[in-house]
Amino acid sequence: MTEITRRALAAAPMALAASQVLAAPKPVAPPAPVAPPSPWPDATGLAAAIKRGDLSAAEAVETAIRRAEALQGTLNIIVNSDFDRALDRAKAGPTGPFAGVPFLVKDLVDYKGLPTRAGSMANRMAPPATEQAPNCDAFDRAGLIVLGKSATPEFGFLPTTEPVATGLTHNPWDLTRSSGGSSGGSAVAVAAGVVPAAHATDGGGSIRIPASHCGLFGLKPSRGRIDDFEDKNSITALGVEHVVTRSVRDSAALFALTEDHKPKASFPPIGLVTGPSKKRLRVGVMLANGMGHAPTPEVAAANDHAAKLVASLGHHVDYVRLPYDGDQFIHDFLLLWANGAAQIADRIARVAGRAPDETMMDPFSLGLVDMFRRTPRTALAPTLQRLQGDVTAYDTWFAAYQLDVVLSPVLSSGPPKLGEIGPLVPFDTLIARLIEYVGYTPIHNLAGAPAMSVPLYWTPEGLPIGTMFAARAGQERMLFELAYELEAAAPWAHRIPPVHV
C-alpha cells in the first residue's frame, strides 16, 4: 500500500471586502457530541462528572476496581491487575480530557510496568515492559487510568477468548457463549460496566468480532492511522489498534487523541468527529461470506434490519458481491496467519532452547505452525501476490460501483457456544469452522481499510449481533459520521446484559 505523506491544508481567502467581513457570521464551535441514553456514563460523561467535582478520580477508579473484583470470577476479564498503581495515579490528580477514567489495555501490547503475556503459557514469566507504543503514551496523557491487562486468546490467533493459559472469558449476555476475540476481555469489561472504554487490537477482526458479540461499538482504523512505532506499510502488517466503547463519541474522541500527527503520517489527521453528516451515501449491501455461503437466519435478519434502517435514513442502497475469489482468499489469509505463528514459535524456541510444545503454546497455535512448516516455501510468494491482487480488487470495487460504504455481517453466526471454536478443538475441524465463521472481516486488514461493527440488532434470545460497515483506506471520518447517525436512529447504549455490575 502506498504511503500517503501529503497533509491536506485548508487556506482561507486573504482578501475580503470590509463589508463582507462585517456581514460574515462569527465562527461557531462544533457541537458537543450528544450523550447516548445509558444507565452508566460513557467515558466522556464520566470525565465530565469528575471535572465538575461530582466524584473524584480516586472514587471513579475505586468503583471500577470493586466492579472488576465482583465480576472477575464470573467473566474472567483481567489477566494482570494493577489496582494499587491505578489508585496511586488517580489520587495524584491526573490531567487530560479523560482524567480519572478507568481503562484497560489488551494483553497483546506492551504497557510500562506490566508484563505482556499475550495469553500464552510461553510468556508466563515475562518481565514488566519498559517501553510502550505512542498510542499508550497518548492514553496516559489523556488521563486514562489503566487498571490492568485484559484477556486475549493466545497471540490473538482465534476469534474467541479461550486460551489454555488464562481460561475462558464469558459473554455477559450469555455465560455459555463466546465473548469473541481477540479483544474479548476488553469487550466484556465494557459491556458489563466495569470500565466505559478499553483498548483493543484488530489483525483479522479482533475489534469488530467481540464488539459484535458483546453489543458494543468497535471501529478498526486504517493501517497506519493510529500512532505507533511499528512499520505499517506492508499488507503483512495486519494489526491495528483502537478501542471498544458503548458510545460513538468515546470512540471518536479516543481516535482523535491517538491518530498519527507526525509529518510522515500515512493520512492527514481527521481530528474529532462530533456528529453526523448531511451527505447521503451509496451503500453496497453484501450477505454471503467469503465462501459464498449465506449466514445463519439470525445474522441474515440483522443484515436486513440494518439495510432497511440505512435506506430509511435516505442513503442509497445496492446489493453487491465480493469482487474476488473468497474461497482462495481465506485459504491464502490462513497461510499468512500461519506464517505469523511460525515466526512466534521460532522466537520462543530461541529463548527456550527447544521447539515449543503444548506446555508452551496452545494446540491450535501449534497446528498453525505445523501447517506452515508443511507448506512448500515456494508457496508464500504467490500467496502474497494473490492477496495483493485481492487488495487491488477491494479498492477498485468501490470506484467501479460508486460505493461509499459496504454493509455486511461481521460473522456468519451470532456468539457461538464456548468450546465450539476454542483452541482445543481438533485442528482440521477447527480450521473448517473458522473458514465458515470468519469470512467477512480479514479483507479489511489486508487492504488497510477501516471498518466498524455497529450494534443494531438483538436476537429474540437477547444476543447482540453487530453489522459491519466498511470503506476505503483513510475514510474513518465518513464511518464515524454514519455511526453517529445510526446511534441516534437506533440507540443501543441503554441495553444491559444479564451479567453486569
Please give the positions annotated as active site: 106, 182, 206
**What are the distances in angstroms from CA 497 to CA 173, 410, 428?**
5, 20, 34
Say how far apart CA 213 and CA 180 lie, in whole Å: 6
Burial of 141 (0-12, 13-18, 19+ CB in 10 A): middle
End-to-end alpha carbon distance in the chain: 44
Residue 235 is placed in which grid cell?
A: 499488507
Q: Record the cell numbers describing residue 43, joined without a space.
A: 467515558
The amino acid at 278? K
Q: Which residues contact 127 (CB under 8 A, 6 or more apart)?
A: 115
Cα distance between residue 128 and residue 332, in whole Å: 36
- Exposure of 272 in the CB half-sphere (CA atoms within 13 A): 13
Q: How distant, in Å, are the alpha carbons of 257, 262, 263, 264 from that of 5?
A: 20, 10, 7, 5
| Residue with the three cell numbers 439495510 | 307
Contact (Cβ atoms closer than 8 angstroms) between residue 196 and residue 205: no
